[in-house]
Amino acid sequence: MNVDKNDIWAKNAAVIAKFFPGLIEQLAGAGTSSAAPLALRLETAADGAPTLVVNGTYVHSKREPLREAARLAGAVAGGGARRGVIVALGFGLGYAPVAAAEQRGNSRPVIIVEKYPEILKKAFETRDFTGFLSKNSIAFALGGAEGAETDISGTLSFFYEKNGKTEKKDVCILKNRALVQLDEAWYAGVERRIHTWQTKDAVNEATVKRFGDRWTRNFLKNNVVSGCVYKYPGVSRLKGLLKRDIPLLLVAAGPSLDSAAALLPSFAERCAVVGVDTSLNYLLRSDVDPDWIVSGDAQYWNSRHLDRLGASNACLVTESAIYPLTLRHGKRTFLFATPLPLGKQIEETVDPKGRLGSGGSVATTAFDFCLELEPSVMFIAGLDLSFPHYKTHFKDAFFEKQANAQAARLCPAETRSFRALRDGDPFYARAANGGKTLTDKRLSLYAAWFENRLSSMNSAHSQNKIAVYSLSEEGLAISGLQTARAEDILSLPPRRTEIHSLLHNAFDKIERDFAAEGGKRMARWTAAMSAIAGHIQD
């Protein structure tokens, strides 16, 4: 067919350069995303519209591609109550995405997911998209190097928050099956990430529903008995403590922690150290006394991870609805805002503590705490979010000890480990080193949280850009998280004496300032407790 592709491309390119400047660069490298170049051919359909053939397969109807697109868009994206984001898996010549956007008066965001940029470029050389590109809220998610996955959860969150939506996160997937079949595994990964993004809030809501009573009991005990909201300062007082000058090491509790054990003391000489509660005993056995330990699980058994905290000089970072036993361990305690609605109200009245993110795992909360400290650079050890070599945890973890203690002849510890692998709906996903690793739905939810947080942190408007590196090459690949080697930390100069001095001076100042505000804080706390007592009596 005769198409003045230079003229059409020039029109589209002018709009792309204005609204999507980064896309031009991606399209400039079109054709390098796959080892074997695609065979693209244009034909004229029976109704006179162009249609595309890829590797011998028709991407659109040979007779009426426009009518076909209207039918697909109406079936997938037209329903009156379905007002969510449209995700087009495979663009082709763009018939269906354009039709879907037009059916709602160009009011619905459209995310175009295309594994092969050369197909997108062919579309821009063939059809005029100037109106579509300039009138709609559009984002592009293109494939990269061979085997690399594309994550659109950050883009979904942007559109969702931009539109101020509070209803269920509805996503309408518009799938071009001919294009999806070119790389089914890649597109399946995109769909899995969409599902993870959609279910993230539901998991958090289920957690609140499941543990709401426990949180309430804990909060009342912690405040009626010890007045922890009044007694302990908030993490907001630690903001910027490391002054973007001191490197920081976050120690999670994944299986790869075993490989770092011998080097942890050397790491601690060069970095401030934040550990999650489940890693405390491991750190102490490795002759590392962390600077902070983060705990956020309100259950009794989780408090047992901190049995040896009394032997440590670490600061405890937790929240006011934690299991009461936890608060007895720490020599110095900082609180972050509780997820409990009652607690939120009281904390805001008495002494706002500072909010940390909660992605369902203590590692997500610890990560947000590390960002509050504003280090020069952050390294993370033990963040696997997977089961490398089919291991569920590091050696001699509390879980392992408990499993061994409760083992029976017909239910040995290995059976519990197998169930942990099986019951989470496991699947293989891309590892940080480019290979494959076994993970499950729960861990992939945590990965989605990290990817969203990293995407937000590294956005053009973010004021909190910090380079973050993972030491776990065999862990789950997390978009935006770079990998580092032990040598990268060991090449840094020792700074432990300086870190101790910095923390000692900072804690002394916080204690003085917090004590100086004690009278006003006590009055607010007493009034808040009286109000609770009045409600209980009523």
pLDDT tens-place string over residues 131-141:
999 887 888 98
The pLDDT value given to residue 236: 95
- Report in angstroms the alpha-carbon separations of 196 from 139, 144, 199, 216, 380: 19, 21, 5, 29, 23
CB atoms within 10 A of CB 102: 16
Do 465 and 450 touch, CB atoms closer than 8 A?
A: no
Residues 6+ apart with CB under 8 A from 213: none
Q: Which helix (H) or strand (E) holds 270?
A: helix 264-270
Structural domain spans, the chain:
5-198, 226-531
- Report in angstroms the alpha-carbon separations of 387 from 196, 241, 253, 272, 499: 19, 34, 12, 27, 34
The pLDDT value given to residue 83: 62
- The per-residue b/e assignment along 308-346, b for 16 or more CB within 10 angstroms, e otherwise, is ebeebebbbbbbbbbbbebbebbebbbbbbbbbebbbeb
The pLDDT value given to residue 494: 97
pTM of the entire predicted model: 0.71
- Report in angstroms the alpha-carbon separations of 491 from 64, 259, 260, 270: 64, 19, 16, 9
User: Which of 212, 225, 279, 281 shows the shortest CA–CA distance to 250?
Assistant: 279
- How many alpha carbons fall within 13 Å on the CB side of residue 384? 24
**Alpha-carbon gap, residue 126 to 6, rounded angstroms:** 9
Q: What's the start-to-end Cα distance of the chain, in Å?
A: 80
Pairing outcome for strands 292-294 and 315-319: parallel
Residues of the chain with pLDDT under 50: 1, 80-81, 145-148, 164-167, 460-461
Do 324 and 346 touch, CB atoms closer than 8 A?
A: no
The pLDDT value given to residue 166: 43
Average of per-residue pLDDT values in the chain:
83
Do 495 and 377 touch, CB atoms closer than 8 A?
A: no
User: Which of 273, 295, 452, 281 shows the shortest CA–CA distance to 361?
Assistant: 295
User: Which of 310, 308, 330 shows the shortest CA–CA distance to 318?
Assistant: 330
Q: pLDDT tens digit string along 209-226?
A: 666 778 888 888 888 777
**Alpha-carbon gap, residue 148 to 477, rounded angstroms:** 10
What's the CA angle centered on 238, arms 232 and 243, to 5 degrees? 165
- Report in angstroms the alpha-carbon separations of 469 from 30, 363, 378, 480: 30, 15, 6, 9
**Positive or negative: CA dihedral 144, 149, 150, 151:** negative
The pLDDT value given to residue 427: 85
What's the CA angle centered on 350, arms 345 and 351, to 5 degrees? 100
**For helices 184-224 and 153-162, angle between their N-to-C axes, nearest 10 degrees:** 60
CB atoms within 10 A of CB 219: 25
